[in-house]
Amino acid sequence: QWIPAKAGSEAGIAFALANAVMAAKGAPEGADAAGIRRFLSGANLTRAAKDADISPSELAAVAEALLHAKNPLILPPGVAYTGSRATSTVAAVMLTNALLGAVGTSVAIPPPAAGPAPAGLAELKALVAAMKAGKVDVLLIHDSNPVYSLPAELGFAEALKSVGTVVSFASLRDETAESSGIVMPDHTPMESWGDSAPRPGIRSIVQPTVRPLLDTRALGDTLLELGRSLGGAMPEGSFRNVVESNWSDVNWRQALARGGVFTETEIAPVGISGNFSGLGYKAPSLAGKGEFTLIAFPHHFLADGRGAALPWLQEIPDPVTKLQWNSWVEMSFGTAEKLDVGFGDVVQVATAAGSLEASVFPRGGIRDDTIAIPIGQGHSVGRYASMEGEGEHGGWIKGPIGAEGQPGVARGANVMAVLPAAQDELGGRVWLGARAGVTKTGRFRRLALSQWTDNQRGRELAQSASLAQLAGHGDGHGGGHGAHHDEPPHTFTAAYDADPDQPYRWGMVIDNDRCNGCSACVAACYVENNIPVVGETQAIQHRDMAWIRIERYVGDGDLEGGAARRPVPNREKLGELDVRYIPMPCQQCGAAPCESVCPTLATYHNKEGLNGMVYNRCAGTRYCANNCVYKVRRFNYFDYGNENFPGLLGLMLNPDVTVRQQGVMEKCSFCVQRIEGARQPAKDEGRDIRDGEVQTACQQACPTHAISFGNLRDKASKVVAAADHPERSYHLLQELNTRSAITYLAQVTRDENEGNH
């Protein structure tokens, strides 16, 4: 169940739930009950529900569910809530887990990692003050871009001008490097030595996989040389020798071979401390007087902006909004209607700290009193900072700096321009701390949107099955997997299907219940198959080249139309949990519609059931793309390969995969190059390819193991076993008789009334 509480009210909810659990269960033996009560004073369910704009009965039901659950667990909010009471909120959440008895069972708290803790905003404020006062003569900046990533209100960029010598070790051009007097590019992580101890029991070695490609120098070696030149007592040798000496207590060669030392570590029991100094409940407060609460959240791929220079991360669609290449302002349809704006309309967002402009993206999963903007775009320096030369689409927003430092066209907006330089109780940085006003500008800027609807329109693409249905209690809830088309697939032998005398028919199983839309498979496919990036202008025209896409749907959908201002019918709404992701590669059909319409036989069927492509035969008619019911074919409108891989970038290409040229169609091949790579050793050894010996790139990269691949004719294979779920398995659009080689497993849904987690 999703209860859409007001943004910024999370602290009150956490304290109220902790208070309710404390009242029902009391403090554990040996805990400071009086100190806990003082910490929780002032919070109750009624007040918290009022501040959160939710029903008191709903919040009371959550408290009851926690008290009666077999394995209760409460988690703190994520990066969306880094407010002024963030530390207190996490403390209240962990206290609730302790009161519920979850610590030591559902929750394990390891000791903190070795080494210094990251600096908070309080330390950065002190640094800025020292810089402005002229107390900093030399400043070294590594693996950080504070000129971009700190709130403009903090004044870091201006303070940097007062520092005598600023040295940046950036590997790519960024705002901080441009403001530095000296730039000494560091090795990339794949060229560097180092080590880390992220938590007890894990010590890992960072070792280079390639020699440095350019005239760069490792930061460690630079610091060693600087120390020696200043007469300091520095270790002998290179930084690699320093790393090795740090591992003198273990066998270096064995640790190097294993990548580190990994040991089982007992996690000691953790009690409840009575020290809540500086922490406690306070009513939510935000800076400014705007009508909306502003949520600034890290972009799923660009993070805090450090990934903005990487084309794959720009081109792969955001998993939730399906937007690419730019910034956007998320708001509800009700808010958009109130402001008289729609998709792509440019609005100005103003807070007490500053203002920015970005295009509107209305959606149903956000409250009317809230707007959200991703962090990561709006750079003034870098490969994709400017949009000059990418064409005009309805009037781009003019930005202050282009790619070469001249007035140009900025890509997106930097949210740091509107965030206050505020901190929480322990000096941490606050991202949820501002109220914003939104005004219409009257301008329009098209956004690159890869999926225009989350409505399946009843086509059963992303199916679902409830727990009740899987348990044999009828059809479960709604339609989902329990309501198929009336016409079953016809049984026939297709002329293009796999040769019955061949030992292989390659196939795949995709478990939609495991897919969370992270898009790791999409990135892996780009890397493995030399897929080019087309840029924002081409992406707006839906010419992106990804061989696999992740589609996102809400519920079963319907055939209803949408309002005039909406680009498409949208099913998402507040409180909706039935969100379904479905990966969509080429289905490798046994009766492929694309093959019968190709006039040059460029697309064909091989003996093992794969739909192959002969690029030299392709005349670019695009008949195959028109006839593909799954829309998984991609056409090279331009010579993207030569544009994408100049100079050293050609070194990253997979030599086993052809780089395609202009006018050629391409698509997923089930990583046929990997199949061939496994076939040769098997042939030399006089055997068939073993089960699991071939992994597609998407399968290998999937963190949840949602993708299985193998030989469908090997009845003992893992892919056949994975497909053996008749109550969940289905083929996409199977009534069209394409004989897809991909079996999907329906997502499993859990009704609210089926019990608590």
Cα 61–62–66 angle (5° rounding)? 115
Cα dist from 710 to 509, 532, 582, 742, whole Å: 9, 27, 20, 11
What's the rounded mean pLDDT across residues 205-212? 92
Position 400 scores a pLDDT of 39
- Give 395 or 336, the one with higher predicted confidence: 336
Which residues, including other chains, have CB under 8 Å from residue 755's CB and lie 6 or more apart?
none
pLDDT at 83: 80
CA-based torsion, 752, 754, 755, 757: positive or negative: negative
pLDDT in the model for residue 571:
74
At 321, list the tokens.
Answer: 């909004």
DSSP designation for 221: H
pLDDT at 473: 54
Would you say residue 756 has pLDDT above 50?
A: no
Q: What is the mean pLDDT of residues 512-518?
A: 94
Amino acid sitting at position 51 = D
Residue pair 206/239 in contact by the 8 Å Cβ criterion: no
Sequence-ordered list of residues with C-beta below 8 angstroms from that of 650, at least 6 positions apart, any chain: none
What are the residue ranges of helices labelled H in 112-211? 121-132, 146-149, 156-160, 175-178
Q: What pLDDT score does 474 carry?
A: 52
Q: Is the pLDDT of residue 77 over 90?
A: no
Phi, psi of 469 (to 5 degrees): -65, -45
d(CA 407, CA 266): 58
Q: Please check whether residue 499 is in contact with residue 506, taking contact to mean a CB–CB distance below 8 angstroms.
A: no
Q: Is the pLDDT of residue 586 over 90?
A: yes
Please report the pLDDT score of residue 388 as a whole number: 62
On average, the pLDDT of the chain sits at 86
751: pLDDT confidence band, cut at 50, 70 and 90?
low
DSSP 386: B
Instruction: Report which listed range, 73-82, 456-465, 741-750, is most confident.
Output: 741-750
Mean pLDDT over residues 195-221, rounded? Answer: 89
Total residues belonging to the chain: 757
Q: How far apart are CA 440 and CA 434, in angstroms?
A: 19
Domains of the chain plus CATH, in order, are 10-100 (no CATH), 121-262 (3.40.50.740), 292-449 (2.40.40.20), 464-556+572-749 (3.30.70.20)
SS3 335: helix
Q: Is the pLDDT of residue 157 over 80?
A: yes
pLDDT at position 165 = 93
pLDDT at 350 over 80: yes
pLDDT digits 0-9 by tens, 640-697: 877 777 778 888 899 999 999 999 999 999 999 999 999 999 999 999 999 999 999 9
Is pLDDT above 50 for 519? yes
Rounded to whole angstroms, how far apart are CA atoms 419 and 422? Answer: 8
CA distance 126 to 120: 10
3-state secondary structure of 171: coil
CA distance 478 to 461: 15
Is the predicted pLDDT of residue 453 greater than 80, yes or no? yes
pLDDT at 599 over 90: yes
Can you give the pLDDT at residue 411?
87
Q: What pLDDT score does 482 carry?
A: 45
Pick the more confident residue, 332 or 396. Answer: 332
**For residues 735 and 738, what is the distance between their CA atoms, to the nearest angstrom?**
8
Query: Measured in whole angstroms, how far is the alpha carbon of residue 558 from the centre of its chain?
Result: 28
pLDDT digits (tens, 9 = 90+) for 356-381: 999 999 998 899 999 999 999 999 88
On the question of pLDDT at 477 being above 50, the answer is no
The model's confidence at residue 80, banded by pLDDT at 50, 70 and 90, is: low
Q: Do β-strands 345-350 and 398-399 pair in parallel, antiparallel, or remain unpaired?
A: unpaired
Report the percentage of the chain scoring pLDDT > 90.
Answer: 54
Q: How far apart are CA 105 and CA 107, in angstroms?
A: 6
The model's pLDDT over 120-131, given as tens digits with 9 standing for 90+, comes to: 888 999 999 999
CA distances in angstroms from 473 to 470, 484, 493, listed in the order given: 7, 17, 36
pTM for the model stands at 0.88
User: Cα–Cα distance between 670 and 610 in angstroms, integer?
Assistant: 8
Average pLDDT over every residue of 555-569: 56
pLDDT of residue 642: 73
CA distance 450 to 649: 26
Quick one: which of 416, 378, 383 has its CA closest to 399?
378
Residue-wise pLDDT for 525-551, tens only, equals: 999 999 999 989 899 999 999 999 999
DSSP per residue, 614-642: -GGG-----HHHHH-TT---EE-SS-HHH
With b for 16 or more beta-carbon neighbours within 10 A and e for fewer, the 548-573 pattern comes to bbbbbbbbbbeeeeeeeebeebbbbe
- Give the pLDDT band of residue 407 (cuts 50, 70, 90): very low
- Could you please report the per-residue DSSP string of 438-479? EEEEEEE---EES------TT--SS-EEEHHHHTTSTT-SSS
Q: Which amino acid is at 235?
A: P
Which of 493, 501, 729 shows the shortest CA–CA distance to 591? 493
Q: 374 has which bridge partners? A: 297
Position 286 pLDDT exceeds 90:
no
Per residue in 379-391, pLDDT (tens digit) is 988 888 877 655 4
Question: CA 543, CA 123: separation in Å to the nearest integer?
Answer: 46
513: which 2 tokens? 């219940």
Q: Please say if the pLDDT value at position 76 is more than 90.
A: no
Tokens encoding 382: 């870098």
Q: Which two tokens stand for residue 8?
A: 């910024």
In this predicted structure, what is the pLDDT of residue 488? 54
Distance of CA 229 to the CA centre of its chain: 44
| 3 state DSSP class of 142 | coil
What is the pLDDT at residue 219?
92
